[in-house]
Amino acid sequence: MLVDDEPDVHEVSRLAMRQFKVHGLPIRLHSAMSKAEGIDLLHSLTLGRPDISLASVALIDVVMETDHAGLELCEYIRDVMKNRTLQICVRTGQPGIAPERAVLDRYDIQGYLAKAEATEDKLYTVVKAGLRTSYYIGLSHALQDLLHYLTPSAASRERITNALQTWQKLARVDPQGGKAASISASLCYFAEDRFLVGLQDWADEAAARGRLDTLAAMPATRFNDDGDRFVIDGRDLLVQIAPTNVNAPIQYMLRGTVPPPDWEVYLYHRYLRTFAALWKQAGG
């Protein structure tokens, strides 16, 4: 998200970032020319709630229609929309109006960039680091929300399965009720060799089992002494939760756009440990 009242800044920024990719995908740029346009743009990018946004990183000019319009937009994002995930970097051509330390101390932002320093490499660092952080926070919140959604169904495994299937459908619908084009990952769950749900390439149980068998036969990395393990083969991830007196055996596969980073693997492991405990508790 680019918010700046100078058209040349938008043009130069887009030119500099035209080849940027994160997780193997090109970034999508959205432009606004003022604080008011920025607010309208943010609301157009929300996912049903103002605190959940399709926007991951915002580059916001400080001086626009007023000397502090950009900083007021930062406050609006955090205090009114309650959006804590969007990574904000303010840009200014007049550092004297908004000194770096004062701005960083007062506002909940993640970066400060003088326009004279906004080289292609600097923009790449700010954008890529911001998108990674936003993805980490967003995935953490999504898995926490999923567990909160599943917990009331823990009375039976059938209810857990139904809730999980419903969640996967809801996660792929935009606020207008159409298909959310931004979500396209293939994934599937197996619990005690029971196929629970599959999406995209693994919507078919036979296809999912075929890939699962291949991954499960490959050398794995252990998470812990309980026997939990994972396998990464190209873009595919398999996480296996071993049976214990607390956890049921769970197998989860995910196909991303690139091989998953370590932090993503371990986030899924922590989530699946809790899911395995819910399944064990449900019994029957």
Q: Helices marked H in 17-152 — which ranges? A: 35-44, 69-75, 100-106, 120-150
Residue 241, pLDDT score: 98
230 and 179 within one domain: yes
252 and 217 within one domain: yes
Residue 177, pLDDT score: 55
Residue 157, pLDDT score: 95
| Residue that is last in its domain, among 72, 103, 133 | 133
What is the domain extent for residue 57? Answer: 2-133
3 state SS of 87: strand
* Full strand arrangement of the beta sheet holding 221-222: 194-199, 186-191, 250-255, 236-241, 229-233, 221-222
Residue 271, pLDDT score: 97
Q: How many CB atoms lie within 10 A of CB 99?
A: 12
The answer to whether residue 141 sits within a structural domain is no
Residue 182, pLDDT score: 54
Comparing 284 with 221, which gets the higher pLDDT?
221
- In this model, does residue 19 exceed pLDDT 60? yes
Residue 93, pLDDT score: 79
Q: What is the pTM of this model?
A: 0.84
Comparing 102 with 268, which gets the higher pLDDT?
268
Comparing 130 with 117, which gets the higher pLDDT?
130
- In this model, does residue 183 exceed pLDDT 60? no
Cα separation, 194 vs 211, in Å, equals: 15
Work out the mean pLDDT of the chain and round it to a whole number: 90
Residue 274, pLDDT score: 97
92 falls in which pLDDT band (50, 70, 90)? confident
274 and 170 within one domain: yes
Residue 174, pLDDT score: 53
118 and 160 within one domain: no
The answer to whether residue 278 sits within a structural domain is yes
- In this model, does residue 56 exceed pLDDT 70? yes
The answer to whether residue 138 sits within a structural domain is no
Residue 178, pLDDT score: 59
Share of the chain above pLDDT 70, in %: 94
Q: What is the pLDDT of residues 189-207, one digit of tens each?
A: 999 999 999 999 999 999 9
- In this model, does residue 179 exceed pLDDT 60? no
Closest by CA to 42, choosing from 61, 139, 50, is: 50
Residue with tokens 């909940």: 108
Comparing 106 with 78, which gets the higher pLDDT?
78
Comparing 88 with 96, which gets the higher pLDDT?
88
Q: What is the pLDDT of residues 239-248, one digit of tens each?
A: 999 999 999 9
111 and 27 within one domain: yes
The answer to whether residue 140 sits within a structural domain is no
- In this model, does residue 48 exceed pLDDT 90? no
Tokens of 104: 């960083």
272 and 161 within one domain: yes
78 and 16 within one domain: yes
189 and 128 within one domain: no
Please give the C-alpha separations between residue 57 and each of 81, 89, 233, 243, in angstroms, as whole numbers. 15, 8, 30, 40
Share of the chain above pLDDT 90, in %: 67
3 state SS of 248: coil
How many separate domains does the chain show? 2
The answer to whether residue 149 sits within a structural domain is no
Residue 50, pLDDT score: 87
170 and 124 within one domain: no
Q: What is the mean pLDDT of residues 11-34?
A: 90
270 and 176 within one domain: yes
Assign residue 238 the CATH number of its domain: 3.30.450
Residue 176, pLDDT score: 58
